[in-house]
Structure formats: structure tokens, C-alpha cells
Chain A
Amino acid sequence: MTVLVVSFLLVFVPYFIPWGPLDWLSGKLMTIAAVTNAFTIVIAVYSQFRRSGRFIREKRKGWAYHIYLLVLLAIMTLSGFILGQHAGAYEWLLLAVVTPLSSVIYGILAFYMASAGARAFRARSPQAALLLVAGFIVLLYQAPLTGAFFPGIEGAATYITNTFGMSVSRMFSISVSIGAIVLGVRMLTGREVAFLGFTEGEE
């Protein structure tokens, strides 16, 4: 807890009371925190190795895929460090595997949204009907062809997105920041210690 509070104060206070040495120290502490956080990738990789190792050892369904995963991981890592990030197997796998699949994984959401819209969007209540009507107006505007034939749609759609839509986002932003401040104060006053691995009553 002492470390938590001291590190907090050393970074928080200089923002409001600028003083050369303290500014320097807070900058270095931020860099140290940034690098320390970057080490956590090793924990993530260790967890993946453990999980895949269990699958392979127990010959569970799909264990061959886990061998493939670990081999590919090793090839990527070793070629990245030995041959460099701008050549060899690392670059080839980046272009052939990582970049197209990264695009697809998020692009698939368009299909899920379309099928969710088709299957679940029903005007069952006044609120749902309002949602549908507002959604339709903005969807019509977002299709470029509509604006070319009905210029007035821009005014209606912009009104909905720049007022009601923005208000919802702003309200969430305000609520989340209040929640974050409360959680931060709880952590600093020792009421939330689970993140350090302590259970209640233990410290």
C-alpha cells in the first residue's frame, strides 16, 4: 500500500505543482512503469504455453492444432529476433497470416451486426420504434447515394448523431470517469486490495 500511495503522489503532485526535480522524477517513474508493464507479455505467453502444453500432454481434441500454434509462435519469435523484423519468415508471416486475419476477425462483425439487425431488431415498444426510426435516418444518410438525391437527410441525421448520440456518449464518459475516480480512491485508501492478490482481511 505504501508503494502504491507514494508512486501515486510522485506522479500526481508534479502535474499541479511544477518543480524541476520532481518533474524529472515523475517522468522517469512513468518510463519505468511503461517498461515494467511491457514485461507482462511474458506472462501472457507463459499462460499460452501452459494451456497448449496441457492439451498436447493429455491429447485432448485439437491437440495437433496446439503443436502447430507453438511451432508458429517459435518461428515468428526466433525469426523476428535473429533475421530481423523487416526480412525473412517474420515479414512473410506478418503479411500472409497476421494482417489478413486481423482484418477478417473484426470484419466478420459486420455480418453479425447485419444478422442481429435482421433477427432481433423489432419495433415491439415505443422505445424500440424510436431506436429503429433514428437508426434508419442515420443509415440512410450514411449511404452516400441517399444524400446525393435527398440533401435534407444530412440535416436530420447530423442532428440525431451530433445531439442525441453525442449526449449518450458524453453521459457515459461522465459516469465512467466518476466510477474510475471512486475506484481509484478506494484503491488508495486500501479498500480495494484484490488487484494485489490479497483476499479480504489479509494484507
Chain B
Amino acid sequence: MNEFLQFAAVVVGIFISFAMYTTLYGKPNPLRDWAEFSYLGAATGVSIVISLTYIYNTAILGIQAGDWILIFSIIFGLMMLFRMHPDYSHVSRLPLAFTVGTGLALSLRTQIFTSFIIQINATIVKLWTGVPLEFLYRLTIAISVITILTFFLYTMELSGPLLWTSKVGEYLMYIGFGGIFAQTFMGRLGLFVGYMESVTTPSWKVPYTLASAVICFIAAIIFDRTGLGQKLSAA
């Protein structure tokens, strides 16, 4: 791609992203709808190209290399498409059953270890290792996991010791949620800061960024005040 086209891609990208940011204004406006439909159309096109390329690289090239059994992947894939037909959608049940059966086997054979047994093993560990801080961590984890689990017992009446452990679990869970909320905010802020960093580095992008921000903000206000936003938007 030549330099001008690259430059144009950057500038259009900055403008269209601020057009999407006008969502935050809270009122319908055509800039936002233009950005939204642009993404829907372009991203769907990308996903088609990439998925069909994957099918070609894995199945077609595999069949050409002598892996004849992969012909079933093409047959099943085409049968899957009958899902769209109102009269013949039952044809898709065979590949669906096959993919669900395979998927179930894949998840069940490993999830039982990684999400269940290994996690429990890591919780119920020797508490005292000679390091007081490690003892504190291990004790806290063991107590937290067990008490939080009892909080989520819905199939029996919680009374006596179970009631108290579930109460403790509830409070410990809220402390955990506080930490998780902070980490979630860090993640979302990181997404935003990262993108802002990319549209301000190198410094030649800064005027385009500021100009796009001001133009889109003013446009959103004008569309709102004149009523054109509601008239020209998609919703």
C-alpha cells in the first residue's frame, strides 16, 4: 500500500473512531450509525474471508495432500447449511450431532481436570510451609473458596454452621468482587488508553485526533439540537 493510502487509512480510521465515540453523547446521530454499519459490513466481510480461507487451508489442501477422510468435513459443512432452509433443516441435525458430540468430548475430557480437580487440589494444600505470609495466603484461599461455595448451595436449607459459613462466604465474596471490579476497570481503561496512545503516536497524528474529536462532538450537538439526529439515524 503506498504512503498516501496508508496516511488516508490512518486519518479515516481516527475520524471514524471518534464518530463511534459520539455514542457517549447519548442521543441518536447519523455519524454513529455510519460508523456502526461500517464496522458491521467490513468485519463480517473479514470474517467470511478468514473462515473460508481456514476451510481451504485445512480441508481442501488436506484432501489434495491425500487426507481423503477430510472430505467428510466438506460434506458435513454443506449439510450444516441446510439449517437455513425451512423444509430441509433436518438435514443439518447429523453434522450438528457430530460437532456437538466431538465438542462435548473435548471439553469434558479436559475441563474436569483444569476447572475442577486441579483447582480443588490447588485449594486444599498444606497450609504451613515455614513462611508466615504464604501461610496467610493459603489459609485465606482455603477458607474463601469453601465458604463462598457454601453460599451458593441453593438445593438445601442453610442452617446452623452452614448458615454462618455462607454468611462469611458472602462477605468474603464482596471483598473479592471489589478487587475484580478494580481489575476489570483497569482492563477497560487500558483498552481506551491504548487506543488513545495509538492515535497520538507519532505526534503528527495529534492534530487529526483533536480535530476529529472536536468535529464529531460539535456535529453530535448540532444533530441533537436541530432534530436531524433522530431523522437521519437508523434507529
A35, B81: Cβ atoms under 8 Å? no
B49, B94, B112: the one contacting A77 at CB < 8 Å is: B49
A145 at the interface (CB under 8 A from B): no
Given the known inter-chain contacts A104-B21, A159-B137, A167-B144, please indicate yes or no for A8 contacting B102, CB distance below 8 A: yes
Given the known inter-chain contacts A61-B234, A92-B1, please indicate yes or no for A8 contacting B101, CB distance below 8 A: yes
A36-73 interface mask toward B, CB cutoff 8 Å, 1 = contact, 0 = none?
11111111111010000000000001100110111111
Interface residue count on the B side (C-beta < 8 Å): 118
Given the known inter-chain contacts A33-B98, A38-B51, please indicate yes or no for A107 contacting B39, CB distance below 8 A: no
Given the known inter-chain contacts A8-B102, A133-B178, A197-B89, please indicate yes or no for A45 contacting B48, CB distance below 8 A: yes
Q: Distance (Å) between the CB of B90 and the closest chain A CB?
A: 7
A160, B49: Cβ atoms under 8 Å? no
A contact face: mostly helix, strand, loop, or mixed? helix
Which of chain B's residues 96-131 have a Cβ closer than 8 Å to chain A? 96-112, 115-116, 119-120, 122-123
B179-220 interface mask toward A, CB cutoff 8 Å, 1 = contact, 0 = none?
111111110110110110010000000000000000000000
Looking at chain A, what size class is its interface with the partner chain? 35 or more
Given the known inter-chain contacts A109-B191, A167-B144, A167-B145, please indicate yes or no for A43 contacting B80, CB distance below 8 A: yes
Q: Closest B-chain residue to A85, C-beta based?
A: B49
B45, A77: Cβ atoms under 8 Å? yes
A43, B100: Cβ atoms under 8 Å? no
Which of chain B's residues 1-55 have a Cβ closer than 8 Å to chain A? 1, 5-6, 8-10, 12-14, 16-17, 20-21, 23-24, 33-35, 37-55
What are 22 residue pairs bridging A and B, where the CB atoms are less than 8 Å apart in the complex? Answer: A5-B101, A11-B106, A11-B109, A33-B98, A35-B55, A36-B98, A43-B81, A46-B84, A74-B45, A81-B49, A85-B50, A91-B1, A92-B8, A98-B39, A102-B39, A103-B194, A113-B185, A127-B171, A130-B171, A167-B172, A170-B123, A197-B90
New A-B pairs, 9, CB < 8 Å, besides A163-B141, A169-B180: A5-B101, A37-B99, A62-B33, A91-B1, A107-B191, A160-B175, A175-B149, A177-B111, A197-B89
- Interface residues in chain B, defined as those with a beta carbon under 8 Å from any beta carbon in chain A: 1, 5-6, 8-10, 12-14, 16-17, 20-21, 23-24, 33-35, 37-55, 58-59, 62, 67, 69-70, 72-74, 76-78, 80-81, 83-84, 89-90, 92-112, 115-116, 119-120, 122-123, 136-137, 140-141, 144-145, 148-149, 152, 170-186, 188-189, 191-192, 194-195, 198, 233-235
